[in-house]
Amino acid sequence: MAYDDRPERGWRRRAILRSSLGAAAMMGLQACAATAKTSRAGRAPLVSSKRAALAPMRITPDQIVDVKCCLRPLRAAGPNLGVEKAGGALVVHNYGHGGSGWSLSWGSADIAVGNAMSALPDAVAVVGCGIVGLTTAIVALRAGLKVTVYARDPIERTRTFRASGSFTPDSRIALAAQTDPSFADQWERMTRFSWKAFRTLLGVPGNPVEFIDSYQLSDRPIERRVWLPDPMVTGSFATKGQPQQNSEFARYSDRIRDIVPQAQPLIQEDIPFPVAYATRTSQMHFNFTSYAHILMSEFFARGGQYVSRTFHSPAEMGTLKEKVVIHCTGYAARDLWQDKTVIPVRGQTGWLVPQPEAKYAVRYHNVSLLSKTDGVVVMNTNPDIGDMLGVGESLELPRRSDIEAGLTLIAPVFASRERDA
Amino acid sequence: MKFRDLRLLLVLSIPALIAAAPAAKTPGGLYSDAQAVAGGVLYSAHCAICHGRMLEGTFETPALQGRFIANWSNAPLSAMFDYIRNAMPQSAPGSLGSDENAKILAFLLKMNGFPSGGQELSPAQTASMRMLKPSVGKAAAPNK
């Protein structure tokens, strides 16, 4: 039977005590905040497995240790990977990855470094030290180039560290009608390349990359969400300069179903939470602190140089000693390069005290919790308007109240255990 | 006070234009106090929410003192003016008028120790100005 939000506490607690395996999964977590994609429960056969024993997360507001906000650089045509001359330098662009910067970092860097190397440089400059810039620098170093990174701030103080850090390679990556016909293939190439690169970091001390189980929970049967064009919405990016509805966003995840774990429905007896419906998948995520440490260590070990510097115009690229410059400034490119096709998409994350004993992710009522090494990420993606959430919003200040409201919404997931504890 | 004046020197003109700018050695005096006061009011309304009431910034938002001067010292002041005009306030870029942005810039100059004068700062002037001396600023003065 399906029940509503009220947990049946005694039943749930006994079930948890009986169970023996830990598992979890989450759908729809997207870099730097989530949208409300739901799982592919559909008509797939139900999975039967032993009910998971999961330590409950402590989610009271006193556990909040940080709230972070950032702007995703959505570019209607997809990331700018073009090449141009500026101030006498050859500038190779690598920016505008929407909510997919982390996820596409390696594949995008491979393309950008390839473009740079076609000019046969001995040395390159990389401008920007977010995940795209730093990864680009590593790829260039591995290719045998001398590399100097010029950036205002090291990675820890960039928007990169204000993302959620999940593998979400097509999150606000482009608007379908604005992309070149070849972009989908390029996206797939970047995604598959990145996926393999991330796998080389699995099991490395500090767990820079890891999989955890992620649950999508619901009071109603879970179906895959499909965004159809709403005839009531007039206008589009083409007429308004910003997307007007979810159906405008490009979605490519079906292209990589062969390598990325998919959500599987659980039978009710196997659901380790007091809800009626659940799916489980394996979600890859990035632990910022160890990941950045490993990249910076490799960067310096290979002889990379870091220079603290800001740029005020494209022409300043020509003042660098390197004559090939890879430009990786993300959202900042909107003003540095006057690229007004970069659209801000605001997202925010709350961070609870790290809870390594509760190593899973869960999503319920458009609120998600993802247990990472540097804390439990909380995202409240309400109101439920999908990828449109935050579009055009550029006030980059966190709102703690949204995170606290999210914790209240997801509290029923843990209510029974808290009551019985 | 001599040291202070030197420290706060606002040098006119980029080096290539120094010969054409006889006032290059004149310290500051390129905005009026009234302009800076008005800029402070605008700053409180439009900028302080992110950059802080004392321009101190946060872990994520740049401070507008100290390193800020170093960051912008290798570009004409017009670059900063243009940046403010185009990119700020970040929540509503370009929403302030040229006169308002000039006032805010005057306020930033004042808060970074560049001396005022009788003349109002106008955007057209900023192309030939440059902040060459990193300012230690009042915040760095030893506690007494």
Helix axes B77-87, B98-111, angle to 10 degrees: 120
What are A62-88's pLDDT values in tens digits? Answer: 999 999 999 999 999 999 999 999 999
**Contact at CB, A335 and B75, closer than 8 angstroms:** no
**How buried is A373 (Cβ within 10 angstroms: 0-12 exposed, 13-18 middle, 19+ buried)?**
middle
Cβ contacts (< 8 Å) between A393 and chain B: which residues? 91
Residue type, B56: E
DSSP letter string over A46-99? PB--PPB--PPP--SGGGEEEEEEEEEEEETT--B--EEEETTEEEEE-B--GG
Q: What is the pTM of this model?
A: 0.84
Q: Smallest Cα–Cα separation from A212: which of A162, A271, A165?
A: A165
A369-409, pLDDT tens digit by residue?
A: 999 999 999 999 999 999 999 999 999 999 999 999 999 99
Per-residue pLDDT at B73 exceeds 90: no
pLDDT on residue B17: 34
Task: Look at residue A386 in the predicted model and tell me its pLDDT.
Answer: 94
Q: Which of the four pLDDT bands, split at 50, 70 and 90, describes residue B132?
A: low
- Closest residue in B to A157 (Cα) is B60
Mean per-residue pLDDT, B68-74: 86
Per the CB < 8 Å rule, is A152 touching B91? Answer: no
pLDDT beyond 80 at B110: yes
Question: CB–CB of A312 and B50 under 8 A?
Answer: no
In tens, the pLDDT along B75-92 reads: 888 999 999 999 999 999
Please give the full DSSP string across A342-400, using - where no structure is assigned.
EEEEEEEEEEEPP-TTS--EEEETTEEEEEETTEEEEEE--S--GGGTTBT-------H
Q: Which residues of chain A have pLDDT under 50?
A: 1-43, 45, 417-421
Q: Could you read off the pLDDT of B19-65 as tens digits, one per residue? A: 333 333 233 678 999 999 999 999 999 999 999 999 999 999 999 99
Cα A348–chain centre separation = 12
Q: What is the pLDDT of residue A41?
A: 45
Q: What are phi and psi of A124, to 5 degrees?
A: -130, 150
Q: Which residue of chain B comes nearest to A161, CA vs CA? A: B60
Enumerate chain B positions whose Cβ falls within 8 A of a Cβ in A.
Answer: 49-50, 59-62, 71-72, 74-75, 79-80, 83, 86-87, 90-93
pLDDT tier at B118, thresholds 50, 70, 90: confident
Determine the Cα–Cα distance for residues A284 and A299; give it in Å rounded to an integer.
24
Residues A361 and A24: beta-carbon distance below 8 Å: yes
- Work out the angle at residue A338's Cα, subtended by the Cα atoms of residues A334 and A341, and round it to the nearest 5 degrees: 60
Pair A378, A39: CB distance under 8 Å = no
Check residue B133 and give its pLDDT.
59
* Backbone dihedral region for residue A418 (phi beyond 0: left; psi -120 to 50: alpha; all else: beta): alpha
